[in-house]
Amino acid sequence: MDEHPPETVRAVEHELTALLRRSRAVSWDIAREVHPNLEPNAYGLLLWLRRSGSIRLTDLAGRLGIGKGTLSRQINGLETIGLVRRDPDPTDRRASQLSLTEEGQRRFDTASAARLERFRETLSTWSGQDVETFARLLNRFNETYF
């Protein structure tokens, strides 16, 4: 593995910090688009639930790398505002399957479409190859960072 110059690694850290800071601000806006009482961190939960369709709490906690207690509290909040439901797990009576309600899907899809449009606008001046490379490198970073 190549040794990277410290200034290059610092530049990556600086840019990621700026991205995450801006991302948090945008997350508040997107969360409010889904539901006025939605916490910004919950958008990521909704994304995972939308992708998986139905998933057990323990499996979702493992994928997200958070504790079951923390996740359960967040899911309870999403249930309270009508975005998530728990259904009995047909393979294990002690467990339940989490999924978005119809209202949760509708609200998430609407907010997600707006978010994707923001990405399209931001990337509109980039070449297709640059966007593909950016997506590939972000995926690689996300797969190896945690």
The structure tokens 């800071």 sit at 21
Specify the pLDDT at position 1: 58
Specify the pLDDT at position 35: 87
pLDDT surpasses 80 at 55: yes
Specify the pLDDT at position 22: 84
Q: Among 12-16, 33-37, 81-85, 118-122, which stretch is predicted with the lowest mean pLDDT?
A: 33-37
pLDDT, tens digit (0-9, with 9 covering 90-100), for 124-142: 999 999 999 999 999 999 8
Distance CA 57, CA 71 (A): 8
Domain boundaries, the chain: 6-145
Asked if 49 contacts 98 with a C-beta cutoff of 8 angstroms, the reply is: yes
Parallel/antiparallel/unpaired status of strands 92-100 and 84-89: antiparallel
- The class that CATH gives domain 6-145 is mainly alpha
Residue 94 has phi, psi (to 5 degrees) of -80, -20
Specify the pLDDT at position 81: 94
pLDDT surpasses 90 at 75: yes
- 92-100: strand order across its sheet: 55-56, 92-100, 84-89
pLDDT, tens digit (0-9, with 9 covering 90-100), for 82-115: 999 999 888 888 888 999 999 999 999 998 898 8
Helix (H) or strand (E) holding 4: none
Residue 115, CB half-sphere, CA atoms under 13 Å: how many?
20
